[in-house]
Amino acid sequence: MAVERRALIHDGPGGRFEGVFAWDDAQSGARPAVLVIPNILGQKEEDNVKAEELAALGYAAFACDVYGQGKRTQRGPGASRYMDEMNADRALLRDRLAASLAALKAQPEVEESRTAAIGFCFGGKCVLDMARSGLDVLGGVSFHGVYDRPDYDTVSPIAAKLLICHGWDDPLGKPETVVALAQELTESGADWQLHAYGHAGHAFTDRSMKGSTIPGVAYEERADRRSWKAMKDFLREIFA
């Protein structure tokens, strides 16, 4: 096994975008593929590592960029500035996600009819928006995502299968918000499942948030481990 990575630059609505594509070059032929959608900070090394971990499982993966080439932030003041732009224009976000998915599907290592998406925090919202807008993925996994609906018409039925991995103490996903998401997905005819993790909040997969003092926002090892295992089972099922 030799997991490789390469920069993947593509055009999309509003400019150029740069992410990292990962695959196992010991594996021949096209294979199922996963779009990895970053959190609030944008495309970064942690996302590239997730793509490599997926490649080690036998998939191709693209840690994508929806902010634009060179648009990255750090924690602290201004961390949300590019995310805020996307939240203010969900249709543009949808179109950038479509461009990222098209770039993934165009790679020679990818079986374009068998793709999925996973996302973290803001990226979890993106996964849900991909399903809501009918983008061509078999399924999606939202890790500690954000659940508010977009302001455009969504598809019904939702074809993509969905796994929502949720920290029960997440201040961005209070119980009434989770129930509203469940009602939305049920009404949209989606095949959905929800895994809720006790004593876990927002960012429970983010190891850079170990020791966080922000209430309800911190890394939680058990939820991280259990949700990644749930994702692996989910991907095996949808790609079977």
Examine residue 157 and say whether the peptide bond preceding it is cis (omega within 30 degrees of 0). yes
Residue 112 reports pLDDT greater than 90 = yes
**What residues contact 156, with CB distance under 8 A and at least 6 apart?**
187, 188, 189
Residue 95 reports pLDDT greater than 90 = yes
**What residues contact 221, with CB distance under 8 A and at least 6 apart?**
none
Residue 1 reports pLDDT greater than 90 = no
Phi first, then psi: what are they for 40, rounded to 5°?
-50, -30
- Supply the DSSP string of 72-135, one letter for each residue: ---SSTTTTHHHHHHHT-HHHHHHHHHHHHHHHHTSTTEEEEEEEEEEETHHHHHHHHHHHTT-
Q: Supply the DSSP symbol for 202.
A: B
- Containing H/E element for 148? none
Map out the domains of the chain as residue ranges.
3-239
Instruction: Check: pTM over 0.85? Answer yes or no.
Output: yes
| pLDDT tens by residue, 209-237 | 999 999 999 999 999 999 999 999 999 99
Residue 57 reports pLDDT greater than 90 = yes
Residue 45 reports pLDDT greater than 80 = yes
Share of the chain above pLDDT 90, in %: 98
The answer for 68, left when phi > 0, alpha when psi is -120 to 50, beta otherwise, is left
**In which band, very low, low, confident or very high, does the pLDDT at 78 lie, cut at 50, 70 and 90?**
confident
Residue 33 reports pLDDT greater than 70 = yes
Q: How far apart are CA 105 and CA 17, in angstroms?
A: 15
* Residue found under tokens 């150029």: 16
- Per CATH, the number for 3-239 is 3.40.50.1820
Q: Are 218 and 119 in contact (CB under 8 A)?
A: no
Q: Which of 140, 120, 125 is nearest to 86 (CA)?
A: 125
